[in-house]
């Protein structure tokens, strides 16, 4: 099968494409619920789009005041990147999201934007969306808590490359999910911008002209982890194409994790093949790869011996509290798993059993539970039939193609 396009790259390319102020073609984008939220937000701010079979043409002559509140829906990346973009504009922009998103933190980013001169106001609980932002930001330095979400740093990097004057961004605490910051820096450089990296700060030259006519979105390791894991736990064989082993994507680590569990992994120039085998527990630090936590826990649940997943304190601030939702659904299926403050500890069992799974609306919990169902002794019923559309619209199609029996019941 072919890996779907990367959600992380698609979000960033949409925003950077609009900032080129030219006719920009985004090739092979992921068009999911999350990335459509970013398109809709950019449209509200004056960006024009046309689509064809090869991708999306993006053009923005000048940003305008949004006619109403911008709804980021379930997309934290949309909320954070558009907040940064809004800080460049001399009028108020109001951002909100669904019930899950308005429980996710915004204060580290809002505090940093305020230090740069933006006028920000929370419309509900302090530190949480909905929020209004008015720019333009002009001040030369800020500091941001780096141990909550890398998206705050990515938002600041893009915004500060466009503001007047240079900016020093001081990173407070250990940076979580650092590979996503690396993706943003790489993409800014791909669009002609400069970022200087220091030990505990980032320096960004202001008013940089972004130049790029087109950009092709690479394949996504985060989504590919589900079919690769399916092969590992069922004793099957899956080859996933469109995966670049030189990519800065943090979830590329899935290749190493599968090997550590004992699966047979073969890496080619642009694809990865996994063959299942006798799996044994291992210890994995997920501080930079939180999206892999649910599916790694599934593998650990059916691996011999003990698996420890650690370093994921920030898992509590995802679409759901993933420590709670992951351990809850696995325990309901007979796994021996204990939640910890930063992950979980698992003692493998020979086989899982059927259960009714509550995903809390989290797309990665749905997909991890579906993969777990492949090695369950009876039916697994997932009380969520569509949240995979947030990040991997082709999930059911691809799993059917691989021989998995999954049925959607309305």
Domain termination site, one of 180, 195, 214: 214
The β-bridge relationship of strands 306-310 and 283-285 is parallel
The verdict on 207 and 241 lying in the same domain is no
Is there a domain that residue 408 lies in? no
Distance CA 198, CA 139 (A): 20
Active-site residue, from 251, 291, 362, 398: 291
The verdict on 283 and 357 lying in the same domain is yes
Is there a domain that residue 37 lies in? yes
Is there a domain that residue 409 lies in? no
The verdict on 98 and 228 lying in the same domain is no
Distance CA 32, CA 391 (A): 6
Task: Give me the pLDDT at residue 317, please.
Answer: 86
The verdict on 262 and 121 lying in the same domain is no
213 is an active site residue: no
Task: Give me the pLDDT at residue 251, please.
Answer: 96
Digits of tens for pLDDT over the chain (410 positions)?
A: 999 999 999 999 999 999 999 999 999 999 999 999 999 999 999 999 998 878 999 999 999 999 999 999 999 999 999 999 999 999 999 999 999 999 999 999 999 999 999 999 999 999 999 999 999 999 999 999 999 899 999 999 999 999 999 999 999 999 989 999 999 999 999 999 999 999 899 999 999 999 999 999 999 999 999 999 999 999 999 999 999 988 999 999 999 999 999 999 999 999 999 999 899 999 999 999 999 999 999 999 999 999 999 999 989 988 899 999 999 999 999 999 999 999 999 999 999 999 999 999 999 999 999 999 999 999 999 999 889 999 999 999 999 999 998 888 77
Residues 6+ positions from 30 with CB-CB distance below 8 Å: 4, 5, 6, 7, 10, 217, 220, 391, 393
Task: Give me the pLDDT at residue 216, please.
Answer: 97
Contact 251, 226 (CB under 8 A): no
Q: Which residues pair with 336 in a beta bridge?
A: 347
Is there a domain that residue 142 lies in? yes
Task: Give me the pLDDT at residue 199, please.
Answer: 85
The verdict on 181 and 292 lying in the same domain is no
Is there a domain that residue 258 lies in? yes
Domain termination site, one of 174, 199, 214: 214
The verdict on 234 and 199 lying in the same domain is no
Contact 281, 348 (CB under 8 A): yes
Distance CA 250, CA 290 (A): 9
Distance CA 195, CA 203 (A): 6
**CATH number, domain with residue 329:** 3.65.10.10
Distance CA 255, CA 144 (A): 32
Is there a domain that residue 1 lies in? no
Measuring CA to CA, which residue among 173, 137, 174 is closest to residue 157? 137
The verdict on 209 and 332 lying in the same domain is no
The verdict on 30 and 152 lying in the same domain is yes
Range of the domain at 298: 221-401
Domain termination site, one of 214, 243, 272: 214
Task: Give me the pLDDT at residue 86, please.
Answer: 98
Is there a domain that residue 407 lies in? no
The verdict on 160 and 198 lying in the same domain is yes
Contact 384, 364 (CB under 8 A): no
Q: What is the 3-state secondary structure (H, E, C) of the chain?
A: CECCECHHHHHHHHHHHHHCCCCEEEECCCCCHHHHHHHHHHHHCCCEEEEECCEEEEECCCCCCCCCCEECCCCHHHHHHHHHHHCCCCCCEEEECCCCHHHCCCHHHHHHHHHCCCEEEECCCCCCCCEEEECCCCCCEEEEECCCCHHHHHHHHHHHCCCCCCEEEEEECCCCCHHHHHHHHHHHHHCCCCEEECCCEEEECCCCCCCCCEEECCECHHHHHHHHHHHHHHCCEEEEECCCCCCCCHHHHHHHHHHHHCCEEEECCCEEEEECCCCECCEEECCCCHHHHHHHHHHHHCCECEEEEECCHHHHHCCCCHHHHHHHHHHHCCCEEEEECCEEEEECCCCECCCEECCCCCHHHHHHHHHHHHHECCCCEECCCCHHHHCCCCHHHHHHHCCCCCCCCC
The verdict on 248 and 383 lying in the same domain is yes
The verdict on 380 and 346 lying in the same domain is yes
Is there a domain that residue 406 lies in? no
Q: Is 352 left (phi over 0), alpha (psi -120 to 50) or beta?
A: beta
Distance CA 136, CA 163 (A): 8
Task: Give me the pLDDT at residue 51, please.
Answer: 87
Q: How many distinct structural domains can be found in the chain?
A: 2
The verdict on 286 and 193 lying in the same domain is no
Task: Give me the pLDDT at residue 254, please.
Answer: 97
């Amino acid at each position: 099968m072919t890996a779907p396009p990367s959600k992380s790259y698609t979000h960033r390319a949409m925003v950077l494409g609009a900032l080129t102020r030219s006719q920009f073609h985004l090739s092979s984008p992921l068009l999911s619920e999350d990335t459509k939220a970013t398109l809709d937000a950019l449209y509200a701010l004056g960006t024009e789009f046309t689509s064809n079979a090869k991708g999306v043409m993006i053009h923005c002559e000048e940003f305008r005041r949004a006619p109403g509140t911008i709804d980021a829906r379930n997309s934290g990346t949309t909320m954070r990147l558009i907040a940064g973009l809004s800080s460049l504009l001399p009028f108020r922009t109001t951002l909100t999201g669904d019930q899950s998103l308005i429980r996710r933190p915004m204060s580290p980013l809002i505090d940093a934007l305020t230090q740069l001169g933006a006028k920000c106001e929370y419309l509900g609980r302090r530190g949480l969306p909905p929020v209004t932002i008015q720019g333009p930001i002009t001040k030369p330095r800020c500091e941001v808590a780096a141990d909550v979400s890398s998206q705050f740093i990515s938002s600041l990097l893009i915004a500060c490359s466009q503001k007047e004057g240079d900016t020093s961004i001081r990173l407070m605490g250990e940076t979580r999910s650092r590979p996503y910051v690396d993706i943003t820096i790489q993409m800014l450089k791909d669009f002609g911008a400069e970022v200087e990296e220091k030990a505990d700060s980032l320096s960004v030259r202001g008013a940089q002209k972004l130049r790029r006519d087109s950009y092709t979105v690479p394949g996504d390791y985060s989504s590919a982890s589900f079919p690769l894991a399916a092969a590992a736990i069922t004793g099957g064989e899956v080859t996933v194409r469109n995966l670049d082993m030189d990519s800065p994507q943090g979830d590329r680590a899935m290749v190493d994790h599968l090997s550590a569990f004992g699966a047979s992994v073969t890496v080619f120039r642009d694809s990865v093949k996994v063959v299942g085998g006798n799996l044994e527990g291992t210890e994995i630090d997920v501080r930079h790869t939180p999206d892999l936590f649910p599916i790694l826990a599934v593998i650990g649940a059916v691996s011999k011996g003990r698996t420890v997943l650690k370093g994921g304190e920030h898992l509590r601030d995802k679409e759901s509290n993933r420590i709670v939702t992951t351990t809850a659904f696995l325990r309901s299926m007979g796994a021996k798993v204990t939640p910890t403050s930063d992950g979980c500890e698992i003692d493998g069992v020979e086989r899982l059993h059927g259960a009714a799974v509550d995903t809390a609306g989290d797309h990665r919990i749905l997909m991890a539970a579906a993969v777990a169902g492949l090695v369950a002794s009876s039916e697994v019923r997932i009380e969520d039939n569509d949240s995979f559309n947030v990040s991997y619209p082709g999930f059911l199609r691809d799993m059917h193609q691989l021989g998995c029996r999954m049925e959607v019941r309305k």
